[in-house]
Amino acid sequence: MIAAAGLRKSYGPTVVLEDVSLALGPGQCLALLGPNGAGKTTLLRILATLIRPTAGFLLVGGVDATRHPEAARNVIGMVGHGSYVYEDLTALENLRFWTTLGGHDASAPRLQAALRQVELDGVADERARTFSAGMKRRLALARVVLGRPRLLLLDEPFTGLDRQGRKWLSEFLLEFKAGGGAVVLATHSLGAGLAVADRVAVLASGRMAVDQSCADLSWEDLRQLYDNLTEGNGPAQ
């Protein structure tokens, strides 16, 4: 689903990402970890074709995403820091807008079904202005699902969710994976991230410090590594 090699992103003299490579197949989930400023969001935005890498190669869904971002976007669904929610529209209207804009079927039963899936069917006709952060995140996921993506890119998806919301999201992602979808999630929530991930990648100072299967990495090793990174001690070897 994703094949990236030698990705580099710099803004003038500031290098944000350096020589990042990763590969992810259908039905796999990659948890992208790293301290603040490590380049996780930049990497996600590059994978989402929202920004272009300064150098490197990126294939998304078999499409050269650096040359043909439009074609790659057909398979990508992204939930970033923002929820892409219009506050003055209702939940249903928000979904109608994004689904039609994406060129998908925006029939009422389909939108209602998506709202049921994220457990927001009870507030379908309420304006998003009245929603909590967690509800907006669920609405964002409903929007993404309606686009039928094969690759889901999530930036801090567990932030702002209560315990029940985290559990619901984990189940949702496992179901998405089981359907053949690939997921990349950038998170600080190690526990929640590892519950759904097959692989863990750790970014430190814009470089990929670790990219391993969850099976090869013990919880303690990962926690130690992560603590070292977030305390600024550099990646553990």
Partner 1 sequence: MTAYARRTWIVLWKDLLTERRSKENLNALVLFALLFLFLFQFALGADRERLQAALPGLMWLGFILAGLLGLGRSFLAERDNDCWEGLLQSPGDKSAIYLGKLLANLATMAVVEAVMVTLFGFFYNVSLWATLGPLTVVIALGTLGLAAMGTLFAAMTAQVRARELLFPVLLLPAQVPVLLATVSATESVLLGEPLSAAAPWLKLLAGADVVYLVIGLLTFEFVIEN
| Contacting positions for partner 1 (CB under 8 A) | 48-50, 70, 73-74, 76, 78, 80-89, 93, 96-98, 100-103, 127, 136
- Of 101 and 108, CB closest to partner 1: 101
Name the minimum Å distance from CB 102 to partner 1: 5
Helices 108-117 and 133-146: crossing angle in degrees, nearest 10, is: 130
Give the count of alpha carbons within 13 A of 10, CB side only.
Answer: 11
- Are 204 and 229 in contact by the 8 Å Cβ rule? The answer is yes
Give the separation between CA 129 and CA 28, rounded to whole angstroms: 35
- Of 100 and 224, CB closest to partner 1: 100
Give the separation between CA 7 and CA 105, rounded to whole angstroms: 35
Helices 133-146 and 163-178: crossing angle in degrees, nearest 10, is: 10
- Of 18 and 156, CB closest to partner 1: 156
Q: Which two tokens stand for residue 192?
A: 């929640």
Name the minimum Å distance from CB 12 to partner 1: 16
Name the minimum Å distance from CB 231 to partner 1: 30
- Of 27 and 102, CB closest to partner 1: 102
Give the separation between CA 188 and CA 61, rounded to whole angstroms: 27
Name the minimum Å distance from CB 120 to partner 1: 16
Name the minimum Å distance from CB 178 to partner 1: 25
Name the minimum Å distance from CB 82 to partner 1: 2
Find residue 183's DSSP bridge partners.
29, 152
Helices 133-146 and 91-101: crossing angle in degrees, nearest 10, is: 30
- Of 52 and 207, CB closest to partner 1: 52
DSSP state of 61: T
Q: How far is CA 121 from the centre of its chain?
A: 24
